[in-house]
Amino acid sequence: MAKKPDISPSQVQRSPLPIQAPKQPEQLQQKVIPVSTDENLKSVQPSQLKASKDGVVMNAIAGWNRNLQVKDVYYDLYLPPQLKENPNPQRPCLVVLPGWDFPRTSWVENTNLVDFADRYGYVLLLPEMDKTLYASTYHPETTLKWHSIPGGEFIKTAFIPTIQKRHQLLLPGQHNTLLGLSTGGRGVALLALENPGLFVAGASLSGDFSQENTPEDRLMTALYGPFSQFQSRWLGRDNPQARAAEWTMPLYLSHGTADDVVPEPQSRLFFNAIKQQQSSAVVEYHPVAGAGHDYPYWGSQLEAVFKFIDQPR
């Protein structure tokens, strides 16, 4: 695999960005009625993994459903009012992944994501992923543990099955989609690879996909151990670019050329790797000249993102 000479290891240091003031605070103050707990889920039995054809999202009110939990991990669910009144049998749903150490609310507080969800009719699922790299497993050398379950494994074995039973969302055959920024953009790639066929489209903004190109990265070292000793881990299951030959999900990639947190070649070389392995793959790459690692840029991409993920697949 080609090395990226234009990426400095010191550049991939994820640090929280200052959260801007909410653009639409009125949307964040809606009354919330708690949904049923797992123990009280009578409306959806474990054997009912095929969604009903009426399109109703179970155990959710119109608007915000906040502070729900899966294995002590919080998530919020936004149900556009029109979907409550006129359910869509496809249950269009967007799993929204935040950046490293960003709160799950940051997408909503800093962009007009809810406006697009209302316009296009998408349920939003926002899990609190905190400081995870979406790993599949921990190792004896792992000192960075986001939860008792690694982030990628948590989404696959806990979050998705619970959402399927609790809300009749993220079921096979529905219009399930992904959106992530920065480390969350990496999460989009790994969730698509670890759950093949479940998601019909995704978008990754400012993501990182090939950790071997930054072998001194402190976070990756804390998860996988030193690159010099454990190259197979760095180049294995949790390396999206190394798994380009497996890629199937339509993907929208974008990256700012002035990004000083995650270098732009991370997205460009991931795009090239997929196209080299699978020339027919539906993957788009949109570098944005002069854009950095910030919400003004990420928010500006939402129109194009929704147009991409909303296409019939």
pLDDT of residue 22: 39
- Is 137 in contact with 219 (CB distance < 8 Å)? no
- pLDDT value, residue 189: 98
Determine contact, residues 178/94, Cβ cutoff 8 Å. yes
What whole-number distance in Å separates Cα of residue 74 and Cα of residue 62? Answer: 19
Is pLDDT at 302 greater than 60 in this prediction? yes
pLDDT mean over 300-311: 98
First to last CA, the chain: 31
44 touches 165 (CB < 8 A): yes
How large is the average pLDDT for residues 143-162?
A: 97
Structure tokens at 113: 């994501």
> What's the confidence (pLDDT) of residue 2?
38
Task: Supply the pLDDT for residue 231.
Answer: 97
- Residue of 175 and 23 predicted with greater confidence: 175
Q: What is the pLDDT of residue 254?
A: 98
Contact criterion met (CB below 8 Å) for 251 and 304 = no
**Cα within 13 Å of Cα(293), Cβ side:** 25
pLDDT of residue 69: 98
- In sequence order, what are the beta bridge partners of 74? 69
- pLDDT band with cut points at 50, 70 and 90 for residue 83: confident
d(CA 301, CA 182): 14
Compute CA distances 261 → 10, 12, 36, 108, 188, whole Å: 9, 5, 40, 22, 18
Has residue 279 got a pLDDT over 70? yes
How are strands ordered across the β-sheet holding 93-97?
63-70, 73-79, 123-127, 93-97, 176-181, 201-205, 251-256, 283-288
The count of other CB atoms within 10 Å of the CB of residue 313 is 12
- Summarised one tens digit per residue, pLDDT across range 108-125 is 999 999 999 999 999 999
Residue type at position 41: L
Joined together, the tokens standing for residue 109 give: 């507080």
